[in-house]
């Protein structure tokens, strides 16, 4: 059987209940309500992991086309169902994941990590900062936060912990492994918040914000990166210290770690042609994404972010750093393009059919009755949105289900559009801290056994509070300096 019977039954039952049993509310069209039934059923199936998210997305596309909830004609319905596959943001993230394969294939990511540890690895806290800085450098061109935190940084962290005989199977995780595992993980949500291309759901946030504001707020790569720079750096600076205080490692001084990293670098040998090319392409991508040509030569020299990604991938293919077989085998990229396209399509049509606006107004009326200022109301909305992630095992499902309505309600209650967009974007990444199933990186690092469930959840909640405070205090002040409000 290709699906989980119980999860599938629950998802189907929820969809049928909304479609046939719950009356269509006043102010909502039947088409919008029926699309909501398909949407909620899809989200429920994603949460219950009835099938892989890509497979569920294919089914969702088929159902939207078959039911005709967006169009009266068969051709129009399938056109609507497939409409988001021409969305440039979807291809930006998919192609960027393909590019990130070069970082792993060439070994550049591991070399960067070992270089930092060779310099700052004489103290345990120095190793933690080295792991965090490695995450930061890799984040702009590694849209799979799981590949970055779990596939590149985590093996380095485990190798270092093992060199100090810190092994969960021996009961010695407290020596250094628990602390490093938690810092390895909690760098991931922070760096994910700092760049549009640092995790797959961020472009979805950009799309939902643009839809909600009629494209008046359309966050560029550079605007996002600049806005998140200072709060992100402060968060990265504080994170190892907070975890060090909560779970201090038994081993404080690690002179052998530097030697270990140097030995690994020797084993890797001289920097290879592939690494040099990958580093050069890395630089080209950052310059183009940051809008440097337009700054220097004028608006006519601007390059679209998705075009930039295709340029980067083309360079890697032309130089042989990546082969077409590498691109074909990058399953996560193709998977992301499929599920991203389907979910963006459904979210877009829920907005076009007026349902998101109706729900946002309902939220607004409920909160308005509390008599709170826009600051208090938006804070309540943001916290409710963020901590609802305890119920989600997918950031994409969470963002798709809740972001547009909560962002729209904040706007209606008087929150300034751009700062509110940035705060909600940050919350969409901070929520990854909470649980051992919060995002793809979580089970990879938690599964290595260095922490107990209680330790993980405690650290996650504390870090969520710390990062909320950082983004509210530092972020809002920084955005004031930048003239964003």
How far apart CA 60 and CA 342 sit, in angstroms, is 7
pLDDT bin (cut points 50, 70, 90) of residue 76 is very high
Question: Dihedral of CA 467/469/475/476: which sign?
Answer: positive
pLDDT bin (cut points 50, 70, 90) of residue 302 is confident
Residue that wins the pLDDT comparison between 263 and 305:
263
| Burial environment of residue 296 by CB neighbours within 10 A (0 to 12, 13 to 18, 19 or more) | exposed
pLDDT bin (cut points 50, 70, 90) of residue 72 is very high
Q: State mean pLDDT over 56-84.
A: 95
Provide the pLDDT for residue 80: 96
Over 90: is that where the pLDDT of 63 sits? yes
For residues 440 and 410, is the Cβ–Cβ distance under 8 A? no
Place of tokens 């450098």: 137
Every domain of the chain and the residues it spans = 89-329
- pTM given for the model: 0.79
Q: State mean pLDDT over 375-393.
A: 88
Over 90: is that where the pLDDT of 253 sits? no
Looking at residue 370, the DSSP 8-state letter turns out to be T
Provide the pLDDT for residue 241: 97
Which pair of tokens denotes residue 122?
Answer: 């004489």
Provide the pLDDT for residue 360: 76
pLDDT tens digit string along 327-374? Answer: 999 888 898 889 878 887 887 888 789 887 787 778 778 887 888 888
For residues 359 and 373, is the Cβ–Cβ distance under 8 A? no
210's CB contacts (< 8 A; 6+ apart) are 217, 218, 219
If one counts every other C-beta atom within 10 angstroms of the C-beta of residue 178, the result is 26
Provide the pLDDT for residue 435: 87
Residue that wins the pLDDT comparison between 432 and 343:
432
């Amino acid at each position: 059987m290709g699906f989980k019977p119980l999860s599938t039954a629950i998802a189907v039952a929820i969809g049928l209940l909304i479609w046939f049993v719950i009356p269509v509310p006043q102010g909502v069209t039947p088409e919008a309500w029926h699309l909501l039934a398909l949407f909620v059923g899809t989200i429920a199936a994603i949460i219950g992991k009835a099938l892989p998210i890509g497979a569920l997305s294919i089914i969702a596309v088929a159902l939207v086309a078959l039911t005709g909830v967006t169009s009266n004609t068969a051709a129009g319905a399938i056109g609507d169902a497939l409409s988001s596959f021409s969305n440039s943001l979807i291809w930006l993230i998919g192609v960027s994941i393909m590019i990130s394969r070069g970082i792993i294939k060439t070994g550049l990511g591991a070399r960067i990590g070992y270089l930092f540890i060779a310099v700052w690895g004489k103290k345990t806290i120095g190793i933690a900062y080295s792991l965090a800085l490695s995450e930061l450098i890799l984040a702009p061109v590694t849209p799979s936060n799981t590949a970055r935190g779990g596939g590149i940084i985590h093996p380095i962290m485990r190798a270092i912990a093992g060199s100090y005989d810190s092994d969960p199977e021996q009961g010695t995780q407290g020596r250094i492994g628990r602390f490093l595992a938690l810092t390895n993980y909690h760098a991931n949500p922070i760096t994910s918040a700092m760049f549009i291309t640092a995790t797959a759901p961020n472009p979805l946030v950009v799309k939902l914000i643009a839809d909600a504001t009629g494209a008046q707020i359309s966050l560029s790569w550079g605007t996002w990166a600049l806005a998140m720079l200072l709060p992100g750096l402060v968060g990265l600076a504080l994170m190892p210290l907070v975890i060090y205080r909560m779970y201090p490692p038994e081993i404080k001084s690690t002179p052998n770690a530097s030697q270990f990293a140097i030995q690994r670098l020797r084993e890797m040998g001289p920097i290879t042609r592939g690494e040099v090319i990958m580093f050069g392409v890395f630089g080209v991508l950052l310059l183009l994404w940051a809008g440097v040509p337009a700054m220097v030569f004028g608006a006519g020299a601007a390059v679209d972010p998705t075009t930039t990604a295709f340029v980067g991938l083309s360079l890697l293919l032309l130089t042989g750093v990546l082969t077409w077989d590498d691109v074909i085998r990058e399953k996560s990229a193709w998977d992301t393009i499929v599920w991203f396209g389907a979910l963006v399509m459904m979210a877009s049509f829920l907005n076009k059919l007026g349902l998101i606006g109706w729900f946002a107004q309902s939220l607004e009326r409920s909160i308005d009755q509390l008599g709170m200022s826009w600051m208090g109301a938006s804070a309540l909305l943001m916290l409710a949105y963020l901590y609802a992630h305890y119920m989600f095992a997918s950031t994409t499902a969470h963002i798709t289900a809740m972001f547009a309505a909560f962002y729209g309600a904040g706007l209606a209650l008087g929150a300034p559009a751009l700062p509110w967009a940035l705060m909600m974007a940050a919350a969409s990444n901070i929520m990854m801290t909470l649980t051992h199933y919060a995002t793809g990186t979580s089970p990879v690092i938690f599964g290595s056994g260095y922490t107990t469930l209680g330790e993980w959840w405690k650290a996650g909640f504390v870090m969520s509070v710390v990062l909320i405070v950082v983004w509210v205090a530092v972020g809002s002040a920084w955005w004031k300096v930048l003239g964003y409000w």
